[in-house]
């Protein structure tokens, strides 16, 4: 049993075969999927997928790329969506200084306001941090995000930053990048992290693991990530599957 803690099945790349693909996931050993939202329309789509499929859960939030659309009305929408029992987190939220699509001050304020919402609702957060490690850590601290905790999705920071984030009650989402040939940094992080803080994710349709890099990703490829972690940690893949699933259940308060 594996749990995909970060997927985007609302993406248009699944339009032709979404239902068929989702229906096939249980037979591929996938127990649960958390569909991460990024903008107003994907929030609605995540909720409707979670209603249609018992094993799909939703996170609601506005991605840094879409933070220019964030306002009080959107905040109220997120609050009302999160009353749905299948909503397990606020995300994905955070900062993206790699693409820098939106002025940084706007990204920061959108991130901070959604952390406040998560604290009001007592929901964990799913963080997107690309090339913004310092400001991400600062906002996590300033907004007391450790009260709710959450996961650093597609973690790309250093071992030193991971040490700080462990103290702040965070989990680490490990995906396809750890299978790539140039993945030295994330491999070091995986070696360092306690197994109790690692969760698996695909970020599908993106970041397909080797040996399938370049294809469209889906939760069926999660096992390749578990195998890579097993290899790095010198463990059985079954053990990696079991521990990471228990972690995801604890993090998102999923049914046992």
Q: Sign of dihedral through CA atoms 198, 201, 203, 206? A: positive
| DSSP run (H or E) holding 161 | helix 159-167
Least distance (Å) between residue 203 CB and Zn ion: 5
List Cβ neighbours of 53 (8 Å cut-off, separation of 6 or more).
Answer: 22
Q: Backbone phi, then psi, for 214, in 5-degree steps?
A: 105, -30
Rounded distance, CA 72 to CA 56, Å?
28
Our CB check for Zn ion shows the closer of 98 and 142 to be 98
Find out whether 150 and 124 touch, Cβ atoms under 8 Å: yes
Which CB sits closer to Zn ion, 6 or 108? 6
Q: How far is the CB of 173 from Zn ion (least distance, A)?
A: 9
Closest separation between CB of residue 256 and Zn ion, Å?
26
Residue nearer to Zn ion on the CB measure, 36 or 110? 36
- Smallest separation, CB 206 to Zn ion (Å): 7
Residues 225/176, Cβ–Cβ less than 8 Å: yes
Phi-psi region of 193 (alpha: psi -120 to 50; beta: other; left: phi over 0): beta
Measured from each CB, the residue nearest to Zn ion is 203
Least distance to Zn ion, CB of residue 188, Å: 23
Output 18 or 242, the one with its CB closest to Zn ion: 18
Q: Among residues 107 and 239, whose Cβ is nearest to Zn ion?
A: 107
Nearer to Zn ion by Cβ, of 5 and 179: the residue is: 5
Count of residues making up the chain: 256
> Residue 141 carries which DSSP code?
H
Query: Measured between alpha carbons, how far is 218 from 9 in angstroms, rounded to an integer?
Result: 8
At closest approach, how far in Å is the CB of 116 from Zn ion?
22
Interface ranges with Zn ion (CB under 5 A):
36, 203
């Amino acid at each position: 049993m594996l749990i995909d803690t970060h997927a985007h099945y609302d993406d248009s790349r699944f339009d032709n075969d979404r239902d068929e693909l989702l229906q096939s996931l249980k037979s591929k050993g996938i127990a649960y999927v958390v569909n991460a939202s990024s903008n107003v329309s994907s929030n609605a789509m995540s909720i409707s997928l979670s209603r249609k499929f018992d094993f799909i859960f939703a996170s609601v939030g506005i991605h840094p790329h879409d933070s220019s659309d964030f306002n009080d009305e959107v905040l109220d929408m997120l609050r009302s969506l999160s009353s749905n029992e299948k909503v397990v987190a606020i995300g994905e939220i955070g900062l993206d200084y790699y693409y820098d699509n939106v002025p940084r001050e706007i990204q920061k304020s959108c991130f901070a306001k959604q952390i406040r919402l998560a604290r009001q609702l007592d929901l964990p957060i799913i963080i997107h941090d690309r090339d913004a490690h310092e400001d991400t850590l600062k906002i996590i601290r300033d907004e007391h995000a450790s009260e709710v905790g959450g996961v650093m999705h597609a973690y790309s920071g250093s071992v030193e930053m991971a040490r700080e984030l462990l103290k702040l009650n965070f989990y680490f989402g490990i995906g396809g990048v750890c299978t790539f040939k140039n993945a030295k940094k994330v491999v070091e992080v995986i070696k360092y992290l306690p197994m109790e803080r690692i969760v698996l994710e695909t970020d599908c349709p993106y970041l397909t693991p080797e040996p399938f890099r370049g294809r469209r990703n889906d939760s069926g490829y999660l096992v390749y990530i578990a195998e890579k972690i097993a290899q790095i940690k010198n463990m059985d893949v079954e053990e990696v599957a079991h521990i990471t699933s228990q972690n995801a259940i604890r993090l998102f308060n999923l049914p046992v």
